[in-house]
Structure 1
Amino acid sequence: MHSGDNSNIPTFRRNDEIYSTIDYIFISNQMRPMLKSTDIHRLHSSWTDHQLLSLSINLGQTPTGFGLWRANPILAQQKAYRVQLKQRLTSIVSSLPNQIAAQKQWDYVKPEIRLFTQRYAIDYTNWRKKSIKVLQRKRNAFLQSQLPIAIQLQCLPVMDKQIESLQQELVDIAELKAGIRWREHGEKSAGYLKQIHQVRNVEQSINCLQDTTSGSTVSSRTQLMEISQTFYQELYSVDPVDKHDIDCYLQDLADLPQLNEDDRRYLISPITIEDIIEQSKKVIGKQSSPGSDGLGYVFMHLIYQFSPLKDLITKIYNTALAAGSFPSSWQDLRVRLLPKKGDLSTLKNWRPISLINCDAKIYTRIINQRMRSVIDTIINRYQTGFLGDRFIAENGMILNILMEQAHVQKRPEIGLLLDQEKAYDRVHPMYLRQTMLAFGFPPSLVHSLESLFFGNAVRININGYFTNRIDQRRGLRQGDPLSPLLFNIALESFLRHILQDSSFQGFRFQLVSNSVTTTSNTMPPPLKVLAYADDVCVLLHSTDDYCRLRHHLDRYGSVSNAKVNIHKTEAFSLDGRSYPEWIAFLAVQDILAFP
């Protein structure tokens, strides 16, 4: 574990000829977020020939804010809540101002539901706490009464069931906070689940960040917020691209497939209230964090079934589809940061997950379901991410067969695992729009998705506190059901440029035995690239292939804002052997991860 750029510094040195890295400090994954800084110090040569390694960690608890409120889904299961919700909705509908647009009416309805739910939850929590105390006292008094055993056996189970039911609610709430999706029968202790929740909060807390301007490490809340605000404002700001260059890039693709007329009509067919209710029903039990309104799928499912609101809801969804006009709450995002590998004092090693209001995600779930049924015809067969009837194991099996043949034939080809920097967060809106139009997507749908995904108001959650508004001008929001498919569409032109490049050789299959006769048209085509969403493996026959790859990467990046971290890209030998020529060539390219 290291912080900063100390990983390649030798820790042992004897004379001027012998030096190596043999000293380490290991730290657990649970303590990684607490790591503030690391350093290497040279000591007097007469004392030792080792360097002194040091680290500093924050042992105190990081101050946290209130974060986001979210409604307890257990409430939606209670008959009393559903009855009172219906009464409150009736009152809300009767007071809706008719002179404002449907989107604004919806943004009036949801805060009222949120306020009602918060008040109900407070009252119910107080009632449950009091009820448990009363029931426990009643049970103890009953046992002290020394009534006949027969009466005790008849009455105690009733009391115990009431107590257990309320205690189970506490465990279920702790489970939600802990974020676990399963548990063994013996793991029902509320204390155990609370501990998991606390550990998860520690793992996801940000204790310090590097200030790229001064180079120092900061830890105060104000400084953490300022650095995060600056980083994400820059990340979500577009680098200029030229529409003409994008169009030329797409026109250079031969035989680009397009959706047929039936598919286009299906994609923009009106959304019915049955479609909306069906999608909400599918995810009613999904533990997905809601957005800024705090209302999860289970609450939206109840609201969608309220008859007086059905016309308003249907109008909102169809206006979103046809005109790209949405409730403002659909583009009011909160972003939670999850740790990745590497130095957690740099924001590049935190994954931003958008917390989107569930009514907005129902819309993209409907579009996602429609697109999944038609997109297979336009995405090449070497992309297996998030597509129906395609599985990641397919590419793994292909690569395994390829490596077996390379090993038998002692072939020097290599594979490159591209590391795309913030792949989802760098997608340019103009590039995505032109790419979707080139594939034949209906212009109205393209406009709707472009309007929804770009121009969002984003606030980053830093230890429970939120930054000021950040305008998201580029990037697909991670956490949206539709983002993986949209990314596949964005990446497709890059993959197709490699596949159609006749100068790019890739891995060419050969006969293992000369005794077998074949014709050229029975051999598989050269294998050049395998992809699972943004995880891309490129197969190189020679250094010329690498030069062609860099050409395609540069051109793709210039029109899409995509960026590949060459120094994080990993190379591997297909036949398992080491080739000095490749190692030397890749070292010049700043690719050092080669076995």
Structure 2
Amino acid sequence: MEFQRTGRYDLMYMKTKELGWKENHGIQNVGIEDSQGNRIVDQRQVLKIWENYITELYDRPNRPETLEVEPEEEVDTDEKGPYILQSEVEKAIKEMRKGKATGDDDVPGDVLKLLGEGGLKTLTKLMNTIYESGEWPKDFTEVTMIALKKKTKATKCSDHRTISLIAHTAKIIAKILKRRIERKIEDVLGEDQFGFRRGKGTRDAIGMMRIIAERTLEIDEELCVCFIDWQKAFDRVNWTKLMQILKETGIDWHERRLISKLYMDQKVRVRLDRGETGSVQIGRGVRQGCCLSPILFNLYSECLTKEALDGLGDFKVGGQIIQTVKYADDLVLMAKEETVLQGMIDRLIEIGRCYGMEMNVEKTKVMKISRQPTPVTIKIDQKQVENVKCFKYLGSLLTDDGRCTCEIKSRIAMAKAAFSKKKNLFTSKLDLNLRKKLVKCYIWSIALYGAETWTLRAVDQKHLEGFEM
């Protein structure tokens, strides 16, 4: 009630979430497994294991000595890029969220929001010095990573998700660069890419897949669908290839030089409970936690799929061939004929390796959408891809019969489980209107995720009505 009275709904949200959060997902001092599967608890050895893991993850045997762009004198003036304006700096600061952890420079983002006219002019001058010289301050390129568990019993480094603590001042220039290159990249991206784009999201990609399935069954045809899983896609981007793509896209010279220097100079270290690893030189992948990374990866994956699938595919809607539905690194391939789909996958594997990408055979799945579905024989490097009748795509269940019944039942079950975790809160003596708001926030948001993509039958409506009661 105190949070409601003071209007601190952010604190109320955090406190409510804690009530249903039983596990501590931070790193605890329970040790970590080494490469031989032995549990190591000695802190120095644990730090070394993490350092080796990060080194191996981002290592590239033929890491380029330099990513230098072409000499400045070879570039036309109008292709170099304009100076950074103070208005761009102000806009970037305004977009920054409050209360975020500091980077290596220990400058809180909230302090930057308090800068007056003099401070903004000084900061703009610093941004232009970096922009014109192409040299990043050391605090901007070195990143500290915090590891969080992806599952309760996390015993390996790979069982953790890392988040990066980047200097807030570095985020300002990154936001300015993003705004400048975003429009040119948007012009290259296809309509089938729904990830990290304004006005598009997971529901649009899910909706597209449901429409395609329903359309296929409506005209009594069959469609072979392959859900591609790339192995650590964001961490495998080839920088040399990326810089080549940026040049071909028409990104200004200063922007390309800054991005190349940022990638070449970056180092990371992992912070644990009782210490930090040594700094590790990065050799590949987009920069974790950087606002530039999503759009750079989108451009990279777009060029990969265009090069691989050019002239392939046999599935048409309205006279237009549809080959893929993409959401960042989640790629769906589709074709009417099994042999056509196999050809698309083979070509994607071949070109993908030129881009540094490898498919994960274990997590890649194939499905045939049909009134009478039969198994599809698809292979990746001579290994059979598993056939599935149901697949969780971006958090929503897709089935080979094109119906939403399984998804609706699953959503209801998850919503009931969420209600049980916070039952004491919802049945407490809190104000009724407040409890209604909490139910809408924590229960209905789970139950109705992707509801705008559902095609309801009478039985589905009964399930939802029964849950509401």
Report the TM-score when normalising by structure 1: 0.57
Distance 1:450 1:533 in 2: 22
Distance 2:360 2:10 in 1: 34
What residue is the counterpart of 1:541 in the other structure? 336
Q: Say if 1:332 and 1:457, in contact at 8 Å, map to a contact too.
A: yes
The reply on whether 1:351 has 2:138 as its aligned counterpart is: no
Q: Say if 1:508 and 1:527, in contact at 8 Å, map to a contact too.
A: yes
SS of the equivalent of 1:238 reads: coil
What residue is the counterpart of 1:528 in the other structure? 323
The reply on whether 1:385 has 2:195 as its aligned counterpart is: yes
Q: Say if 2:60 and 2:283, in contact at 8 Å, map to a contact too.
A: yes
The reply on whether 1:183 has 2:6 as its aligned counterpart is: no
1:41-90 alpha-carbon deviations (Å, 9 max, x no partner): xxxxxxxxxxxxxxxxxxxxxxxxxxxxxxxxxxxxxxxxxxxxxxxxxx
What residue is the counterpart of 1:8 in the other structure? none
What residue is the counterpart of 2:264 in the other structure? 454
What residue is the counterpart of 1:552 in the other structure? 347
The change in CA–CA distance for 1:421 and 1:405 in structure 2 (over 3 A counts) is: same
1:36-435 map, 5 Å = 181=10, 183=12, 202-205=24-27, 207-212=30-35, 214-240=36-62, 268-283=81-96, 285-302=97-114, 304-305=115-116, 307=118, 309-340=119-150, 344-435=154-245
Q: Say if 2:99 and 2:110, in contact at 8 Å, map to a contact too.
A: no
Distance 1:587 1:434 in 2: 29
Q: Say if 1:404 and 1:575, in contact at 8 Å, map to a contact too.
A: no
Distance 1:224 1:204 in 2: 15
1:345-366 alpha-carbon deviations (Å, 9 max, x no partner): 3333423222100000111111
Question: Post-superposition shift, 1:454?
Answer: 3.3
Q: Say if 1:477 and 1:483, in contact at 8 Å, map to a contact too.
A: yes
Q: Say if 1:208 and 1:219, in contact at 8 Å, map to a contact too.
A: yes
Distance 1:389 1:266 in 2: 29
Q: Say if 2:225 and 2:369, in contact at 8 Å, map to a contact too.
A: yes
- The farther-off stretch of 342-351 and 398-407 is 342-351
What residue is the counterpart of 1:37 in the other structure? none
1:453-472 map, 5 Å = 453-463=263-273, 465-472=275-282
The reply on whether 1:592 has 2:400 as its aligned counterpart is: no
What residue is the counterpart of 1:568 in the other structure? 363
Question: Post-superposition shift, 1:463?
Answer: 3.3
Distance 1:416 1:342 in 2: 30
Distance 1:337 1:576 in 2: 46
Q: Which letter maps to 1:295?
A: V
Q: Which letter maps to 1:210?
A: E
What residue is the counterpart of 2:450 in the other structure? none
Q: Which letter maps to 2:250?
A: G
Question: Post-superposition shift, 1:471?
Answer: 0.7
The change in CA–CA distance for 1:337 and 1:330 in structure 2 (over 3 A counts) is: same
The change in CA–CA distance for 1:425 and 1:497 in structure 2 (over 3 A counts) is: same
The number of residue pairs the alignment matches comes to 376
SS of the equivalent of 2:145 reads: strand
SS of the equivalent of 1:567 reads: coil
Question: Post-superposition shift, 1:577?
Answer: 4.7
1:107-138 alpha-carbon deviations (Å, 9 max, x no partner): xxxxxxxxxxxxxxxxxxxxxxxxxxxxxxxx
Distance 1:565 1:325 in 2: 37
Distance 1:553 1:349 in 2: 28
Distance 2:380 2:283 in 1: 35
Distance 1:241 1:329 in 2: 23
SS of the equivalent of 1:572 reads: strand
Distance 1:589 1:298 in 2: 52
Distance 2:216 2:281 in 1: 49
Q: Say if 1:499 and 1:529, in contact at 8 Å, map to a contact too.
A: no
Q: Say if 1:414 and 1:572, in contact at 8 Å, map to a contact too.
A: yes
The change in CA–CA distance for 1:374 and 1:493 in structure 2 (over 3 A counts) is: closer
Q: Which letter maps to 1:235?
A: L
1:202-259 alpha-carbon deviations (Å, 9 max, x no partner): 21225343322x233334323321221111111111243899xxxxxxxxxxxxxxxx
Q: Which letter maps to 2:87?
A: E
1:313-344 alpha-carbon deviations (Å, 9 max, x no partner): 22321132233211111012001223336973
Q: Which letter maps to 2:116?
A: Q
The change in CA–CA distance for 1:567 and 1:456 in structure 2 (over 3 A counts) is: same
Q: Which letter maps to 2:109?
A: Y
SS of the equivalent of 1:446 reads: helix
Q: Which letter maps to 2:211?
A: I
Distance 2:201 2:352 in 1: 27
The change in CA–CA distance for 1:416 and 1:454 in structure 2 (over 3 A counts) is: farther
Higher gyration radius (CA): 1
Q: Which letter maps to 2:304?
A: F
CA RMSD of aligned residues (A): 3.5
Question: Post-superposition shift, 1:592?
Answer: 2.4
What residue is the counterpart of 1:508 in the other structure? 316
Question: Post-superposition shift, 1:436?
Answer: 0.6
The change in CA–CA distance for 1:551 and 1:592 in structure 2 (over 3 A counts) is: closer
Q: Say if 1:335 and 1:458, in contact at 8 Å, map to a contact too.
A: yes
Report the TM-score when normalising by structure 2: 0.70
The change in CA–CA distance for 1:547 and 1:583 in structure 2 (over 3 A counts) is: closer
Q: Which letter maps to 1:594?
A: V
Q: Which letter maps to 1:270?
A: Y
SS of the equivalent of 1:488 reads: helix
The change in CA–CA distance for 1:242 and 1:384 in structure 2 (over 3 A counts) is: same
1:256-297 alpha-carbon deviations (Å, 9 max, x no partner): xxxxx99x95982211223212221222x4343321233222
SS of the equivalent of 1:566 reads: coil
Q: Say if 1:413 and 1:540, in contact at 8 Å, map to a contact too.
A: yes
Q: Which letter maps to 2:166?
A: I
